[in-house]
Structure 1
Amino acid sequence: MGRSDSRRKNSTKKWKKVLLSVLAVLLLLVGGVAVYSLYTVNKALTTMHEPIDRDFSAKRDGKVQLSKKEPLSILLIGIDKESGSIEKGRSDTMIVLTVNPATESMKMVSIPRDTRTEIIGQGIMDKINHAHAYGGVEMSIPTVENFLDIPIDYYVKINMEGFKEIVDSVGGVEVNNSFAFTEDGKTFDEGTISLDGDSALTYVRMRKQDPRGDFGRADRQKQVVQAVINKGASLAGFTKLDNLIGAIGENVKTDLSSMEMVTIQRKYAAARHNMETVQLTGSGATIGGVYYLQVAEDERLRVSSILREHLGLE
């Protein structure tokens, strides 16, 4: 093998590790190792990149310095296109992820979509998932920052309808269902079940039959994404890998640049092996005929304090 061929092979391997490792961090999961074409990876990265026009967070002194391994935060937004476009639909899922490379740890908190809070930029109290419908990611980020009193450094937006394509691209997944239920004419037995793309989307959307409501649904969403990454990491065929990366590229948007992804993969990847879920709780309330989840102030401050400490903020 010539020197140029060797460099090309090493470059392909590098981008392979970057994409799957960073996706593992962004999707809260352990990344995998597989071989695929550099062209496919570059295309996926280009398609995924969607910078937004915003100032640095007032919650942090300037932009986070990835090269200095400063703790960072990422807002994961799942958009259900049935409620509108991926640009301005209501957010079906909102998860905040903090990563601290010094302690090699990650913390994750799911914000229930019915959480009542101030929508920054609208000056009203409403469900937190309406922020995206009002003003997209640009309004969701400051609203979450205000609610949790932490900076949001980056965002990752996932088209929930794209779950079907992503799951099908790996040949379906298996998950462990904690209780049996029927939804949209589909029956999901208790125990280990196999899901194709269509059934996976139904599985992660159900919440009314779940005694834990949004919290239970969030767990099912993480189950499916975990299974996709694990399955994708074990794929050996070029066709399936290209399909997987193509499906991710079409259904995931982020303001992380390719070089920022490289830096995260190099300096933050070890944190993915130690992840803690922080539970945010609240109580249901009907205000003006609309159901909300009311998070008590001491509970909000408790979760905020955990995340701020993890981010190394005073």
Structure 2
Amino acid sequence: MRSEKKKKRKWLRVLGFIVLLLVIGLGVYAFTVYNSLTNAIDTMHQPIDRKKSEKREKPVTLEDKEPFSVLMMGVDEREGDRGRSDSLIVLTVNPNTKTTKMLSIPRDTRTEIIGKGFDDKVNHAYAFGGVEMAMDTVENFLDIPIDYYLQINMESFQDIVDAVGGVTVNNTLDFTYEGVHFPKGELHLSGEKALKYTRMRYEDPRGDFGRQSRQRQIIQGVINKGASFSSLTKFDEIFGALGKNIKTNLTFDEMVDIQKNYKDAAKDITQTEIKGSGTKINKVYYFIVPEDEKQQLQQDLKSHLELN
């Protein structure tokens, strides 16, 4: 009897030791993840000097689960040149309806450049006045507050795709670009191939709209892979790629609030395109959005942000 009690105590001590090792191991792992994440966010965080938006009575509060918007800009930065925002996507996120809307704005869209006082291509706003002017111009065009920005260096975007282990897309157009063949159907793309997949537009019957659709596919693929459990094993590589290639005015605490309060909204993403037509003004090509189309877009986005 006494011998059995000793055996039980021995096994309890062994079990307790194993649990302790697991707790310590997880603690070290959690600390490593946290340390890697905070380092990446410190590098990514780029505050901006921008006045309070006139489209909101008060700044959005993520802690209170309020719908918010983000302007995503894909920028090709070259040495000695700020570059242009060749890809503009507005995300509106609503945790109450658990939905996200992803709207692509054609880079040739003609609109007023806020701060310059004249109409031009929307993607020129970034070249003229950086992130602030781009946000102000898109905010005016859509008549909604732009709360945050996310600037992605497109030259190095392939690092992010590779960090999550590549992405899977459903390709609807058979084409070859820069020596890579992209057949129709489900494709698993590495970072290099994903970048080429998003850059082709002249062979696409839909032109820039086709390219925008492929860009949204890659972004959604990264979001899906980044949110999966398997990606945790690559956290250091993922955070490193994010830190090097992304700039944002989101703080660490705001990112934590988004992860905690808005993650269900990432499960239902609706992709939207702007209707319009191309024309030349003074020999320069522009994409013209009819007024009724613009008003419908504005109304839909305001409703999604619960601003009505």
What is the TM-score normalised by the length of structure 1?
0.84
CA gap 1:204/1:241 in 2 versus in 1, 3 angstroms? same
Does residue 188 of structure 1 match 2:182? yes
User: How far is the alpha carbon of 1:244 from its aligned partner?
Assistant: 2.1
Does residue 67 of structure 1 match 2:67? no
Contact 1:83 1:90 in 2 (8 A): no
**3-state SS of 2:48 partner:** coil
Find the aligned partners of 2:178 and 2:29 in 1 and give their Cα distance: 46
Q: Residue by residue, what CA displacement relative to the aligned partner does 1:97-119 show, whole Å, maximum 9, x if unpaired?
A: 11122222222211111100010
1:30 counterpart residue number: none
Q: Percent of aligned positions with the same letter in both sequences?
A: 51
2:287 counterpart residue number: 293
Find the aligned partners of 1:11 and 1:61 in 2 and give their Cα distance: 42
User: How far is the alpha carbon of 1:275 from its aligned partner?
Assistant: 2.4
**3-state SS of 2:279 partner:** strand
User: How far is the alpha carbon of 1:52 from its aligned partner?
Assistant: 0.4
Q: Residue by residue, what CA displacement relative to the aligned partner does 1:193-224 show, whole Å, maximum 9, x if unpaired?
A: 34332222111011111122222112211222
Contact 1:84 1:90 in 2 (8 A): no
1:55 counterpart residue number: 51
User: How far is the alpha carbon of 1:150 from its aligned partner?
Assistant: 0.5
1:201 counterpart residue number: 195
Contact 1:83 1:89 in 2 (8 A): no
CA gap 1:107/1:10 in 2 versus in 1, 3 angstroms? farther
**3-state SS of 2:260 partner:** helix
Contact 2:225 2:231 in 1 (8 A): no
User: How far is the alpha carbon of 1:279 from its aligned partner?
Assistant: 2.6
Does residue 12 of structure 1 match 2:8? no
**3-state SS of 1:152 partner:** coil
**3-state SS of 1:37 partner:** helix
1:100 counterpart residue number: 94
Does residue 126 of structure 1 match 2:124? no
Does residue 211 of structure 1 match 2:189? no
Contact 1:81 1:161 in 2 (8 A): yes
CA gap 1:137/1:144 in 2 versus in 1, 3 angstroms? same
Instruction: Indicate which of 210, 221, 228 corresponds to 1:227.
Output: 221
1:312 counterpart residue number: 306
Find the aligned partners of 2:89 and 2:260 in 1 and give their Cα distance: 23
Contact 1:98 1:107 in 2 (8 A): yes
Contact 2:76 2:153 in 1 (8 A): yes
Contact 2:44 2:244 in 1 (8 A): yes
Find the aligned partners of 1:300 and 1:217 in 2 and give their Cα distance: 21
Contact 1:284 1:293 in 2 (8 A): yes
1:243 counterpart residue number: 237
Amino acid at match of 1:12: A
Q: Residue by residue, what CA displacement relative to the aligned partner does 1:58-88 show, whole Å, maximum 9, x if unpaired?
A: 1111211222222211111111225975xx3
Contact 1:100 1:268 in 2 (8 A): yes
1:275 counterpart residue number: 269
CA gap 1:168/1:104 in 2 versus in 1, 3 angstroms? closer
Amino acid at match of 1:269: K
Does residue 260 of structure 1 match 2:278? no
Amino acid at match of 2:115: G
Find the aligned partners of 1:83 and 1:306 in 2 and give their Cα distance: 39
Question: Higher mean Cα deviation, 65-74 or 53-62?
Answer: 65-74
CA gap 1:308/1:249 in 2 versus in 1, 3 angstroms? same
Contact 1:75 1:155 in 2 (8 A): yes
Contact 1:177 1:188 in 2 (8 A): yes
Q: How many residues align?
A: 288
What is the TM-score normalised by the length of structure 2?
0.85
User: How far is the alpha carbon of 1:189 from its aligned partner?
Assistant: 2.0
Contact 1:106 1:271 in 2 (8 A): yes
